[in-house]
Amino acid sequence: MTITPFCISSPPPVSGTIYGVVLNDHHSIARFGTAVDDAPYKGAPKAPAMYLKPANTVVGNGAAITLPADESAVEIGATVGIVIGAPAARLSTDTAMDVVAGYALVADLSLPHSSYYRPAIREKCFDGACPVAEVRPASEIGTLSTIVLTTFIGGQPVAERSLADLVRDVPQLLTDVTEFMTLSVGDMLLVGVEYLAPQAAAGNQVRITAGPLGSLEFSIHTRTEALTS
């Protein structure tokens, strides 16, 4: 097998900041279960439970992603990014869709972690941890509730999720986020990843399909592989 030592991929289509949320689907909330009420959380999140994917994480379709040293597995969080097309502050659910320029299929990669208590910077912000597919205009996509994301690892389907399962849909999520922070043109807001998403190992080829949003492919490598090949 030929291993590509550096990320070679199509240019990433995002110019701004990428924000994400966790526990935004009923399936994940059910899976998390009563732990939300226990320490350290002591209650379900009220505002969207958010994180950032900084600029170093963003790669395009076809990327070869090298995990940080001593890591050999990664969670593949299949999701969709809302691409912001107009400055967005204090939106209401009636006006929220006016700022949506389009959507892109995104794989939010995380080193496996089961706690949402502290910001997961090492886990979620390593280089290449956010493959992003081509942006499709919102007018072509319609509502996200018809989108089904299927994740293939090594050619085998390992997970499928429907975006009909979102707790906060796109207008509600934009409304709740822009209540306290402004989103700018080119920013992207991910609609949520599944709790304990399937894991890929070093050497795996990963593919996610999402109907009208197309597909996203990338491969996972360990540092040793990348340095010695």
Partner 1 sequence: MKHARIAWTGAVHQAVPHGEHQLQLVDGRIINEDEVVWLPPVTPRTVFALGLNYADHAKELAFKAPEVPLVFLKGTNAFTGHRGISRRPADATYMHYECELAVIIGTSGYRISKAHAMEHVAGYTVANDYAIRDYLENWYRPNLRVKNRDACTPLGPWWVDRDDIADPMKLALTTRVNGAVTQQGTTADMIFDIPTLIEYLSSFMTLSPGDIILTGTPEGLADVKVGDVIDTEIEGIGCLTNTIVDDATWFGVDKQGVNAQ
- DSSP H or E segment with residue 176: helix 170-178
Query: Does residue 69 interact with partner 1 by CB under 8 A?
Result: yes
Query: Does residue 47 interact with partner 1 by CB under 8 A?
Result: yes
Distance of CA 49 to the CA centre of its chain: 14
Query: Does residue 72 interact with partner 1 by CB under 8 A?
Result: no
Query: Does residue 46 interact with partner 1 by CB under 8 A?
Result: yes
Single out the residue of 169, 187, 194, 225 in contact with partner 1 (rule: CB under 8 A): 187
Single out the residue of 8, 86, 148, 181 in contact with partner 1 (rule: CB under 8 A): 181
CA atoms within 13 Å, Cβ hemisphere of 38: 6
User: Which residues pair with residue 217 across a beta bridge?
Assistant: 207
Instruction: Report, in Å, the least distance between residue 17 CB and partner 1.
Output: 4
Query: Does residue 51 interact with partner 1 by CB under 8 A?
Result: yes
Structure tokens at 31: 């899976």
| Contact present, 106 and 89 (Cβ < 8 Å) | no
Instruction: Report, in Å, the least distance between residue 163 CB and partner 1.
Output: 22
Nearest CB to partner 1, comparing residues 145 and 184: 184
Closest CA to 21 of 145, 190, 161: 190
Which part of the chain contacts partner 1 (CB under 8 A), choosing from 115-123, 143-151, 190-198, 201-209? 115-123
Instruction: Report, in Å, the least distance between residue 211 CB and partner 1.
Output: 30
Whole-angstrom distance, CA of residue 162 vs CA of residue 157:
15
| Contact present, 141 and 102 (Cβ < 8 Å) | yes
Category of 62 on φ-ψ map: left (φ > 0), alpha (ψ -120 to 50) or beta: left
Structure tokens at 215: 């597909």
Query: Does residue 145 interact with partner 1 by CB under 8 A?
Result: no
Query: Does residue 184 interact with partner 1 by CB under 8 A?
Result: yes
Residues that bind partner 1 (CB under 8 A): 16-17, 19, 22-23, 40-43, 45-47, 49-52, 54-57, 68-69, 89, 116-122, 125-127, 180-184, 187
